[in-house]
Amino acid sequence: MNKQSLMQKALGDQWQQLPPALKSHYQHNSNSDIGYLNIEYPIYMHPYLTFLHLFGALINRRGKNIATTVEKHMQGNIQFWKRTIYFPRNKTILFNSFWIVDRKNELIEFINPFIGLRMTVQVQKDKLYYEGCHFVVKIGKFLIPIPEWLLLGHTTITETALSDSEFEMDFTLKHPLFGNIFRYSGKFKNISK
């Protein structure tokens, strides 16, 4: 019997509206996606992104059509993500995180044991939409909310199926004062293990 995936728990009945490519991407079993990323941000953001990357946040290098692998596995009620981005000249950057379901239609993605982003998830017209609520700082059992604008800006993610195994994703951070400050987008194919 298949176990419920983390996303299935978060989406509830909306899970049935997801196209097969997105169901595979978020399945409970260990699986991988392979594809290419485009990473964009204004040059003035580079020092800040380099600082944040020390804590496990985001990617501090720009590029187009960068080969990327995303590996996911479950341990109990936690899903672990390992993103490997293969830049030219043998420069590889890792972006790891782990996800938990916080409540119905809400997930928290932690970039380390103490800092995460709470997001709502919903399905509309066969697309999966994420929207940032706020960042959280975990101290013991407590989650202290930090407004998005205080750190980076508002997060939105859209994922769209292209076939039964391929999908595209678009992650954007928009600050109320500085506009779009970070974006990565790309096309991926799920490779089930």
Cα(39)–Cα(37) distance, rounded to whole angstroms? 6
Q: Is residue 32 assigned to a domain?
A: yes
Q: Give residue 2's pLDDT.
A: 64
What are the tens digits of pLDDT across the range 104-119? 899 999 999 999 999 9
Q: Give residue 193's pLDDT.
A: 57
What are the tens digits of pLDDT across the range 119-168? 999 999 999 999 999 999 999 999 999 999 998 899 999 999 999 999 99
Q: Kindly state the average pLDDT of the residues 67-73.
A: 97
Q: Of residues 166 and 192, which shows the higher confidence score?
A: 166
Q: Kindly state the average pLDDT of the residues 9-36.
A: 96
Residues spanned by the domain of 114 = 6-192
Q: Give residue 1's pLDDT.
A: 42
Spatial CA neighbour of 116 closest among 128, 133, 94, 130: 133
Q: Is residue 20 assigned to a domain?
A: yes
68: pLDDT confidence band, cut at 50, 70 and 90? very high
* Predicted confidence (pLDDT) at residue 82 exceeds the cutoff of 80: yes
- pTM here is 0.94
- 46's CB contacts (< 8 A; 6+ apart) are 60
Q: Give residue 19's pLDDT.
A: 97
Question: Average pLDDT, whole number, for the chain?
Answer: 94
Q: Is residue 1 assigned to a domain?
A: no
Spatial CA neighbour of 188 closest among 40, 31, 80, 78: 31
Q: Is residue 65 assigned to a domain?
A: yes
Q: Is residue 123 assigned to a domain?
A: yes
Q: Considering its fold, how many domains does the chain have in total?
A: 1
Please report, rounded to a whole number, the percentage of residues in the chain having pLDDT higher than 90. Answer: 92
Report the CATH number at residue 10: 2.40.128.20
Please report, rounded to a whole number, the percentage of residues in the chain having pLDDT higher than 70. Answer: 98
Q: Is residue 168 assigned to a domain?
A: yes
* Predicted confidence (pLDDT) at residue 26 exceeds the cutoff of 70: yes
Q: Is residue 176 assigned to a domain?
A: yes
Cα(187)–Cα(107) distance, rounded to whole angstroms? 23
Q: Kindly state the average pLDDT of the residues 86-90.
A: 91
